[in-house]
A and B are shown apart, each in its own frame.
Chain A
Amino acid sequence: MSESTSTPGAVSGEGSGPLLSVRDLTVSFRTAQGPTSVVKNLEFDVPRGGALGIVGESGSGKSMTSLAILGLLPKGGTATGSVRFDGAELIGMSEREKRRVRGDRIAMIFQDPLSSLNPYYKVGTQIAEAYLSHRSGVSRKQARTVAIEAMERVHIRDAARRVDHYPHQFSGGMRQRIMIAMALSMEPDLIIADEPTTALDVTVQAQILDLLDEIRTETGAGLILITHDLAVVSEVTDQIVVMRAGETVERGAVEQVFSDPQADYTRRLLDAVPRIDDAIGVLRTTAITVPDNGRSAR
């Protein structure tokens, strides 16, 4: 996979066009008041080896989008529209086929690394699990080697020993590295990271982002980074989708959206990022009912 560093466009060969193409994606849930859509008519592309950021407040439908791509929506949720991954339509695909894609070709990294790891099993077992499931005829020993290699690639020192440790024996940042190791162990074509740094210290956040960026350039995998933190997006991704209440507010190249936001909401979101030269005690918000609030607070 490392040869694709120079040509990030040629990850899996076959299909032409974008790695992931989302069209008219709508996610709705059955409620007592009838169906409610939490994601509406979402559209975006992730080019091969490209990185896309999905930004929005909590409740904007970012996480549901990622779960819908993998077909992992919680009970009562349905996704309609089209999600084409490397030419194959994921929506409506059989559970069996989807399982083959999950973990192997599309890997996911979740927000809270402690609760996302099973406390009862060694991290090595949990990393190797996917490998044992997706590759037939591999031994536990091989899977263990894969797990150790993956841990080394995310810069966990002494991986050969740490592979037999349990999640609670790692710090928060290290746990997220384990999650990343788990994701990249299968050399996926696409990594979806859902708020990967939210539960971490600021200093650790930077390390994890650097790591994600490094993995991406090394393996040529596509990346969808879901976050509420604009600074995170600007650092790692080249395309951006801004979501609010399930709707797409704006999308485009990161530089363009940051320098010349078209939507009022994006402007306010950008303005809400605290700056070092702000007066102490002033925190701008993106209050929705007063359209100009973000600016007037200046």
Chain B
Amino acid sequence: MIRIVGSRLLGMLVVLFLVTLFTYAIFFLLSADPAVQICGKNCTPERIEQIRLNLGLDQPFWTQFWGYVGGLFTGRTFTVAGAAVECAAPCLGYSFQTSQLVGDMIVQRLPITATIAVGAAVLWLLGGVVAGVLSAVKEGRFLDRFFAGLTLGSMSIPNYVLALALQFIFVVALGWLPFPQAVKFTDDPGQWFLNFILPWVVLAVGYAAVYTRLTRANVIDTLQENFVRTARAKGLQPGLVWRRHALRPALTPIVTIFGMDVAGLLGGAVITETVFGLNGVGKLTADSITANDQPVIMAVTLLSAFFVIIGNMVVDLLYTAIDPRVRTGASA
């Protein structure tokens, strides 16, 4: 077990390093000169040169890159308008456009993104698995067809359309949900919860559709398995046959995709956050792309990669716990 974790961690570091390198290279090679942007409209060539010197933009690529990587581990100091700004490790850079440390900007927004992602994940996992199992039980009958139609619809409708439609129906027309207000969970849990219902639903719908299909297919496949026939031949109660011999094997693969999906969302649910005006990492991404705020884009990219890699690792470890074949295969 320790060996698996160890080798996984090492692989993770390599991947993260490569992601950092490539992202940095892309911004270095492709993007507009940050010094020009910072300088603004009334700008002299001397001033641009001065900014370039301050930012270290006159340095060669590798020097800049190692400066960035070094900052991740040991922190670094930026010179902003003549004053020194400390950026502690892990330093993700300084946004000259917002005059903030990128790390702080992300830390502020991460809880919102995590709330959206986890809430939606619970919804789509429950909804998808229940609908999938029901579809499999009623294969070919009305309920199965109903869910098939529903999943097709859910997959086809774009997030932002659904978001606007639901907002209009439930907030404006029916008035069942209050207008979103900026509240903290600790101040007003009820309002906080109501704020998040629509974002959760909107984000969950597409995933739930995929999970429904996946679950249905897995359960139907598993029911064909010989060991299910064995269980029936043993005279087990139908409930036990289902729980142990059909659902457990059918749902295990879902763990894999679930872990990856949640991890992917922690990097920000760009569309949902933007439509609902929720100030999470996804909205930050959207805003900084529009503003071409490179340090932020760079940091968000790294963060996403980080979560996906961590998610991958968690799934792998979880798998060794729930699938005996993987477990003993690894220890042998």
Contacts and interface: CB of A to CB of B under 8 A. Distances in A.
Interface in B299-332: 323-325, 328
Given A120-B248, A169-B328, A182 B227 contact: no
A122 B327 CA distance: 13
Given A72-B233, A103-B234, A120 B328 contact: no
17 contacts: A102-B234, A103-B234, A103-B235, A107-B233, A115-B226, A118-B231, A118-B244, A119-B227, A119-B249, A120-B323, A121-B244, A129-B244, A133-B234, A133-B237, A168-B324, A168-B325, A182-B230
A119 B245 CA distance: 9
Given A110-B233, A116-B230, A129-B244, 9 more contacts: A70-B233, A118-B245, A119-B227, A119-B323, A133-B236, A133-B240, A168-B325, A168-B328, A182-B230
Contacts of A72: 229, 232-233
A104 interface: yes
B240 A110 contact: no
A107 B230 CA distance: 10
A22 B240 CA distance: 30
Interface of B: 225-227, 229-237, 240, 244-245, 248-249, 252, 323-325, 328
Nearest to B227: A118
A133 B248 CA distance: 19
Contact of A116 (B227, B248, B324, B325): B227
Nearest to B249: A120
A282 B244 CA distance: 49
A143 B226 CA distance: 23
A112 B235 contact: no
A108 interface: yes
A130 interface: yes
Contact of A110 (B230, B235, B244, B325): B230
A108 B235 CA distance: 11
A195 B240 CA distance: 27
The 6 closest A-B pairs by CB, nearest first: A103-B235, A102-B235, A103-B234, A115-B226, A130-B234, A118-B227
A101 interface: yes
**Number of chain A interface residues as a range:** 20 to 34
A123 B324 CA distance: 12
Contacts, number: 78
Nearest to B325: A168
Interface string A71-110: 0100000000000000000000000000111111001101
Interface of A: 70, 72, 99-104, 107-108, 110, 112, 115-122, 129-130, 133-134, 166, 168-169, 179, 182
Contacts of B226: 110, 112, 115-116
B233 A115 contact: no
A100 B237 CA distance: 10
B229 A110 contact: yes
B234 A117 contact: no
B252 A120 contact: yes
Given A116-B226, A119-B325, A99 B233 contact: no
A274 to B, nearest CB: 29
A168 B113 CA distance: 42
Contacts of B229: 72, 110, 116
A59 B227 CA distance: 22
B283 to A, nearest CB: 42
Most chain-A CB neighbours within 10 Å: which of B227, B236, B249?
Answer: B227
Nearest to B228: A118
A37 to B, nearest CB: 22
A108 B248 contact: no
A115 B324 contact: no
B236 A103 contact: yes
B236 A130 contact: yes
Contacts of B235: 99-104, 130, 133-134
Contacts of B225: 115
B328 A108 contact: no
A21 B230 CA distance: 23
Contacts of A103: 233-236
A134 B233 CA distance: 12
Contacts of B234: 102-103, 107, 129-130, 133, 182
B324 A120 contact: yes
A119 B244 CA distance: 11
A117 B225 CA distance: 9
B249 A108 contact: no
Nearest to B246: A118
A166 B324 contact: yes
A99 B249 CA distance: 23
A102 B233 contact: yes
A163 to B, nearest CB: 14
A99 B328 CA distance: 34
A99 B323 CA distance: 29
Nearest to B240: A133
A100 B232 CA distance: 11
Contacts of A116: 226-227, 229-230
Nearest to B233: A108
A166 B327 CA distance: 11
Contacts of A70: 233
A121 B231 CA distance: 12
